[in-house]
Structure 1
Amino acid sequence: MQTFDQVIQSNIALIQKVVDFDAKNDQLLPLDFTAANTELTDEILDDTDLFSDWVNEKLAKNNASYGIGGYNEHRTIYSRSTHFDTEEEPRRLHLGIDIWGPAGTPIYNFYDATVQSFAFNDNLGDYGATIILTYDIDGFKFNALYGHLSLASLNGLEEGKFIPAATKIAELGAKEENGSWPPHLHFQLIKDMGGLKGDYPGVCKFSEREKYLANCPDPDLILKVTFS
């Protein structure tokens, strides 16, 4: 039986874009949201406009079309919201890849899919407008979560609706509708939704790292945007 990686690689020619990107002309900038990034002070993180300014300045300075935030990254930025706190251990390990860009940036479906669910997760630090699609590639079924979208992206959706590959499915949301973040896409692959709809943890406790990483494969299999 093929692994998830093998299934994706054997169908890579059929995998479409998630964002507009010209590899010859557009630049990507890795953004570090761990404790190693001392530029991100509490003052910046506590003010979404200052946080957005910081991201935009980084992109402009490096002539980058998008910033890229890493999978399996232990992040300090989640301390800005109690949404990620639990009594015994806060959630800090990032399970998706972020693509940071302007509000209104188009988001596309990378392969034929159906709508698993959608929701407006309107908590500080949450996903905001969220779409989850289900895929079946060579009999391997999995889901992809698209978070921090515009509210208008949810219009016209219904569970089970077929979404063809290469269809524009959403736009990046502004802070008022994306969980109060600088505009970006949280893109996450999920093998088993565990009965959840409209939501799935995008950040886990470090002590549960292996369990969650096993269920949430590296999204760069699809995106092809990281630098390792």
Structure 2
Amino acid sequence: MDIGGLLREAGITPSPVMKLDNEKLHHFDLSKYNKALDNVDLNDEQAFTQYIFNELKANNCTAGIGGYGEERSLYSRSTLFSDEEPRTIHLGIDVWTAAGADVFAPLDSTVHSFANRNVHGDYGPVIILEHKIENHVFHTLYGHLSTDSLDGLTIGKEIKKGQEFARIGEYHENFHWPPHLHFQVIIDMQGMVGDYPGVCKKSESNIYLKNCPNPSVFL
């Protein structure tokens, strides 16, 4: 599904998921090819957080963004991503900024599902919205939210385009990551509820990246 083309054909301009100042936006490279990460102990959660926010400060930026389709080695910090072939390909875009930053619905939507996935390295609080444009259905996933973002949610609840419905969580909420939003588009939820992989195996990346197209149109 070509999300951008679908929106253009329907004459719909999405609202930004976050209010970002492009002049104060740092583009992060967290791929395994970034040699600067060799000097950061990614298993030291404080060191990783310090790296993110030192980069923002050094570049005089209020937020950082990036990561779609990026091959990363940083997931070795959590057994959640370990297997005979580890999961290393990032399927969404990350927006790194201060905890408490507001998150907005890009389109009219309903709540597909939500959960608090409080396992080391997982999403922590996560919300998945469902969108319908003509006969097409797709979903957007928001991970690493504040715990109170889940308050009052029910499956099927309407969320209007441009409505603030969540906030980025603190370190201990989001779950053991530097504060950021993991934002992902998912066409077919494949029966999953309150969860969908945000990282896949390299051998399966063609399948997953097709089902999770680049979400930059909403940012």
TM range (shorter): over 0.9
The partner residue of 1:93 within 78, 89, 92 is 89
What is the CA-CA distance between 1:21 and the residue it aligns to?
A: 2.1
2:40/2:51 contact within 8 Å kept: no
Which digits, 9 at most, give the CA deviation of each residue in 1:46-89, with x for residues without a partner? 12222111111111111112111221110011111110011x20
1:68 has 2:65 as partner: yes
Task: Find the aligned partners of 1:129 and 1:11 in 2 and give their Cα distance.
Answer: 32
TM-score of the superposed pair, with normalisation by structure 2: 0.95
2:88/2:200 contact within 8 Å kept: yes
What is the CA-CA distance between 1:106 and the residue it aligns to?
A: 0.7
Matches within 5 A, 1:41-190: 41=38, 44-86=41-83, 88-190=84-186
TM-score of the superposed pair, with normalisation by structure 1: 0.91
Q: What corresponds to 1:32 in structure 2?
A: 29
Task: Find the aligned partners of 1:12 and 1:37 in 2 and give their Cα distance.
Answer: 39
Matches within 5 A, 1:188-203: 188-203=184-199
Task: Find the aligned partners of 1:204 and 1:158 in 2 and give their Cα distance.
Answer: 29
1:70/1:98 contact within 8 Å kept: yes
Superposition RMSD on alpha carbons, in Å?
1.6
Which digits, 9 at most, give the CA deviation of each residue in 1:169-204, with x for residues without a partner? 111111111120000000000001011010000000
Give the unaligned 5+ runs of structure 1.
224-228
Task: Find the aligned partners of 2:104 and 2:113 in 1 and give their Cα distance.
Answer: 17
What is the CA-CA distance between 1:12 and the residue it aligns to?
A: 6.4
1:48/1:175 contact within 8 Å kept: no
1:113/1:162 contact within 8 Å kept: yes
- Report runs of 4+ in structure 1 exceeding 6 Å deviation: none
Task: Find the aligned partners of 1:115 and 1:40 in 2 and give their Cα distance.
Answer: 37
Give the unaligned 5+ runs of structure 2.
none
SS of equivalent residue, structure 2 residue 144: strand
1:72/1:94 contact within 8 Å kept: yes
Q: What corresponds to 1:14 in structure 2?
A: 13
Counterpart residue identity of residue 69, structure 2: N
What is the CA-CA distance between 1:37 and the residue it aligns to?
A: 1.9
Count matched residues: 219
1:7/1:138 contact within 8 Å kept: no
Single out whichever of 31-40 and 214-223 deviates more from structure 2: 31-40
Q: Percent identity?
A: 45
Counterpart residue identity of residue 177, structure 1: E
1:4/1:140 contact within 8 Å kept: no
Counterpart residue identity of residue 70, structure 2: E
